[in-house]
Amino acid sequence: MIHSLRSPAGALLPALLVVLLSVSAPAHSELREIDWLELMPAEDLALLKNMAELEHEGDGPVLLPDEIMTGRVVPDMGNVEGRIPGFVVPLKTTQDMRILEFFLVPYYGACIHVPPPPPNQIIHIKYKKGFKLEALYDPVWVEGTLLIDRTETDVGTSSYSMVAEAVEPYEE
């Protein structure tokens, strides 16, 4: 039996197509927002909670406990597709200053100031398109699939990586 688009059955097909097409193309707001604390194992979070307040006015640098700096990861965070906000520490740029590779960190000045964040609080990002940043203190959103992958550079060590699908200015 052939249904016309005016019949109830005929009207159902276009409605189903609209629903199916909208589900297959998620918008930014539908991407999972990854929280930085999700990247730290429970034992590392417990160590941080039990640490004394960091004092920045001393003779030497304040260091985090060695146990936190091992770079332990949360296995469930591997292959998570989502978006995460953070600050950029450039690793590779083009001649016109487009950033192609960088560390994403949870706070401005990480990897420059002491102590650096633990490796599980640094994500090594590669972005083929590259992007320009007006100032290093401008936060960004990075979208892609989070991988458990250790990267060591002169700047720092990361426990996670991501090939970015998009890098955009941070907006709440």
pLDDT digits (tens, 9 = 90+) for 124-150: 999 999 999 999 899 999 999 999 999
Rounded distance, CA 16 to CA 119, Å? 46
Q: Could you tell me the end-to-end alpha-carbon distance of the chain, in angstroms, rounded to an integer?
A: 51
Tokens (6 digits) for 37 = 């604390």
User: Is residue 79 included in any domain, yes or no?
Assistant: yes
Tokens (6 digits) for 9 = 């059955």
CATH of the domain at 40: 2.40.50.870
pLDDT band at 172 (very low <50, low <70, confident <90, very high): confident
pLDDT band at 15 (very low <50, low <70, confident <90, very high): very low
Q: Residue 141: which domain range?
A: 33-169
User: Is residue 75 included in any domain, yes or no?
Assistant: yes
Average pLDDT over residues 162-170: 97
Rounded distance, CA 81 to CA 23, Å? 16
In the beta sheet, which residues pair with residue 34? Answer: none
How many separate domains does the chain show?
1
User: Is residue 126 included in any domain, yes or no?
Assistant: yes
pTM over cut 0.85:
no
Residue whose C-alpha is closest to residue 65's, from 83, 78, 46: 46
User: Is residue 120 included in any domain, yes or no?
Assistant: yes
User: Is residue 13 included in any domain, yes or no?
Assistant: no
Tokens (6 digits) for 46 = 């417990």
Give pairs for 106-111: CB < 8 Å, separation 24+.
Answer: 106/36, 108/136, 108/137, 108/139, 110/156, 111/155, 111/156
Rounded distance, CA 8 to CA 3, Å? 8
User: Is residue 100 included in any domain, yes or no?
Assistant: yes
pLDDT band at 65 (very low <50, low <70, confident <90, very high): low
